[in-house]
Structure 1
Amino acid sequence: MKTTLLKSAATLAIVSGFMMPMAAMATPTTYTQASGQAITNNTTIVSDMVINDTGMIDGLTIELDIEHTWIGDLIIQLTGPDGFTTITLMDRPGAPSSTFGNSGDLVFGVPLIFDDAAATAAEAANGGGTYAPDGLLSTFIGSDLAGTWSLSISDNADADQGNLRSWSLNVDVTSVPEPEILALFGFGLIGMGALRRRRQS
């Protein structure tokens, strides 16, 4: 009977070993926050996105639906749920000697995307497109998804204004194994160890 129980424990460890990787598979998810906030001269706006889903971040990009008539005015930053980790996505590209003119406009329907893997740096931005942010979005990898994410946009000059329509986080999330699975896995490992010792004796 004891041997049967030990064998069952070993089997449980093997099954749990398969269950845990399945529970830890990364799942791509998009979270969008509607904003509709005006970006006015020499002011900073903050748009908060509350995410209730749990999981560990495995990858992250961010997309803004934004308009502004002079991209060189803008500093854009993202703060994670811990309230302390902040990265700069873009810091007044081309300023103070911006030569973009009208080509520097951001317009409705043209997304501004930040992706660590992008070939063009944010400081070379001249409108909508995909750019590598000044700070690394990979800074957030391994942190918890749940909580309040904050996007801040500051306008640092006169004359030009704009609007933040919405913004989205595109996240690869690795789910955290349930405590019950961890307990089963631990029990199975104990059983395997006991079975091995029994066979050696």
Structure 2
Amino acid sequence: EQIYYLGLTQYLKSATRSRWTFKQTRYALLNACRQLYGDQGREYAALKNAWAAVGVGEPAVNSGVIRRESEPRLTIPDNDPAGISDTMVIEAEGGIQDLSCSLELRHSYIGDLRVLLVSPGAETVVLHDRQGGGSDDLIREYSLAAYPPLSVLKGDQAQGEWRLLVSDHAAQDVGMLVKWGLTISLDNNVQHLLQRISTPDLAIPDNTPAGVEDIIDINDPGIIVKVKVSVDVRHTYIGDLRCILQSPAGIKVVLHNRRGSGRDNLKRTYDGAQVPRLLDLAGSEMRGQWRLLISDHAPADEGVLREWKLDITWR
């Protein structure tokens, strides 16, 4: 009942009820379901399948799960930051819905080790960064749900070459990369990347909490899978600055909040791993006005918003 009420009141206009088509009604109800329950659960799949059964739209696509394992048994060179790498090729197409990476490294001092996972799209996730002190062996599984840095991979294409990089950063202890594996749940819905950039060269008024804003207007419809935001702000004291992204749905994401003290310039890319609030944009409509709000909260230093960029993965 909630789905139908929301669909009727928010996604279909009462003035046009006599002209509703099946396609419009399906679109409204799916959007309402997505808003209430997301688009990965049984409610959304059941609604898609119900419409498909009467010849309207495509049925829900079952997600496939693929598992791959490599057992290279590579010696990790002692005190060598270049380290070793091993590759694994995924041939299946589809966006990453869920992912876990398992490791088996034999080493007598895991505090020496750094381990990186590099995706086919060149996203790099640090799995292990010299934690653990003198403990022996790194045998662990990293899952997207339990290890937030992996969330940057959600929505990316799984197909292609994956690399695991292992390096040793101190002398005396040696070890081996015995094996590693990937388990990936695929969403076979077609996904796209939209990029938009604005170069306003907009002056940021000094010590003015109201600040300034710039708008990127997106006219294309689509459902957000994930968002990355890049900003280039020239300023002589970035600890004065607050930077907020606002989506067309009104969701506000604080990207920068007066960190960095007296450092010059804020030039950075933010994703869901660094700013978890960006993950809340998934499932909402990307069409509309995206706003970047920048304000200065202390006197004496001034700056300019040179440019900012949106990278939106959508379906």
Of residues 25-34 and 67-76 in structure 1, the stretch that sits farther from structure 2 once superposed is 25-34
Q: Distance in 2 between matches of 1:93 and 1:142?
A: 29
* Equivalent position amino acid for 1:142 in 2: G
* 1:63–1:12 Cα change, 3 Å: closer
1:12–1:173 CA distance, 2 compared to 1 (3 A): closer
What's 1:175 paired with?
Answer: 188
Q: 1:114 aligns with which of 134, 138, 142?
A: 142
**Alpha-carbon shift at residue 165 of structure 1 (Å):** 1.4
1:27-51 Cα deviation digits (max 9, x unpaired): 2221112211101202211111111
Shift of 1:13: 8.7
Matches within 5 A, 1:132-143: 132=147, 136-143=149-156
Aligned residue for 1:122? none
Question: Where in structure 1 do 4 or more consecutive aligned residues deviate above 6 Å?
Answer: none
The one-letter code matched in structure 2 to 1:170 is: T
Shift of 1:85: 1.0
The partner residue of 1:28 within 65, 86, 100 is 65
Does 1 or 2 have the higher relative contact order (CA < 8 Å, sep 6+)?
1
Unaligned runs of 5+ in 1: 1-6, 119-131, 178-201
2:52–2:58 CA contact under 8 A, matched in 1: no
- Out of 11, 15, 20, the position equivalent to 2:55 is 15
Question: Is residue 115 of structure 2 the alignment partner of residue 76 of structure 1?
Answer: yes
Give the equivalent residue in structure 2 for 1:155.
168
Per-residue deviation, 1:14:
4.1
d(CA) in 2 for partners of 1:81 and 1:157?
30
Contiguous gaps of at least 5 residues in structure 2? 1-21, 23-50, 191-315
Report the Cα offset of residue 169 of structure 1: 0.7
Structure-1 residue corresponding to 2:9: none
Contact preservation (8 Å) 1:81, 1:148: yes
Q: CA RMSD in A?
A: 2.4
- Number of residues of Structure 1 aligned to a counterpart in Structure 2: 139
Distance 1:162 1:138 in 2: 29
Aligned residue number for residue 105 of structure 1 = 136
1:42 pairs with 2:82: no
Identity of aligned residues (%): 30
Alpha-carbon distance in structure 1 between the residues aligned to 2:167 and 2:74 = 12
Which structure has the highest strand share of the two? 2
Q: Distance in 1 between matches of 2:104 and 2:142?
A: 12
* 1:56–1:144 CA contact under 8 A, matched in 2: yes
- Contact conserved, 1:66 with 1:112, CA < 8 A, in 2? no
